[in-house]
């Protein structure tokens, strides 16, 4: 299985640590935990995949941070309880995982981003964006 270096953009420290722990236990490499734009962009060159929360310590900056990361070729997976706030949608967005999330969804998203195979355990918890990347309308994957 191919593994990608992962950036976690989440301002709630315990949630960020949990995400890091889940991914590390699944043998993925988390390169950094970032709570705001400046931290996320500082580590962008080290990542190929980013899990991005929407509401961060510097406000509703997740969508714009995701777009900045996407310009650098980083695949984006949003983590949010409010998917309607995903605007604009990053061009490299794989989809989003609703909070509270199942840990298997994090591992599945990392596997999907690395290998392009949507037939993995936990994939049903990931909502993918339709073909129109300007819209946050999503559909559920069938596991």
CATH number at residue 92: 3.40.50.2300
Question: pLDDT value at position 104?
Answer: 87
Residue-level length of the chain: 143
Indicate the pTM of the whole model.
0.85
Collapsed DSSP state (helix, strand, coil) of residue 107 = helix
Could you tell me which residues come within 8 angstroms of residue 55 by beta carbon, excluding any fewer than 6 positions away?
11, 62, 80, 82, 85
The CA R_g of the chain, rounded to the nearest whole Å, is 13
Find where tokens 């989003």 sit: 96
Distance of CA 69 to the CA centre of its chain: 11
Per-residue confidence in pLDDT tens, the chain, 143 aa = 567 899 999 999 999 999 999 999 999 999 999 999 999 999 999 999 999 999 998 899 999 999 999 999 999 999 998 888 999 999 999 889 988 888 888 988 898 888 876 666 655 666 665 434 333 334 333 22
- Identify the domain containing residue 15 by its residue range: 5-140
Query: Number of folded domains in the chain?
Result: 1
Question: pLDDT value at position 4?
Answer: 86
Question: pLDDT value at position 132?
Answer: 41
Question: pLDDT value at position 137?
Answer: 37
Of 77, 76, 80, nearest to 60 by C-alpha is 80
Dist CA 7 CA 12 (whole Å): 15
Question: pLDDT value at position 118?
Answer: 60
């Amino acid at each position: 299985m191919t593994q990608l270096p992962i950036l976690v953009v989440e301002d709630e420290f315990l949630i960020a640590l949990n995400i890091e722990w889940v991914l590390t236990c699944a043998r993925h490499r988390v390169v950094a935990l970032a709570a705001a734009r400046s931290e996320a962009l500082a580590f962008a060159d080290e990542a190929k995949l980013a899990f991005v929360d929407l509401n961060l310590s510097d406000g509703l900056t997740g969508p714009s941070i995701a777009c900045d990361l996407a310009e650098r070729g980083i695949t984006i997976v949003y983590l949010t309880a409010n998917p309607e706030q995903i605007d604009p949608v990053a061009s490299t967005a794989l989809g989003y995982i609703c909070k509270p999330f199942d840990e298997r969804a994090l591992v599945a998203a990392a596997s999907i981003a690395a290998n392009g195979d949507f037939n993995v355990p936990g994939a049903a918890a990931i909502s993918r964006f339709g073909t129109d990347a300007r819209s946050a309308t999503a559909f559920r994957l069938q596991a």
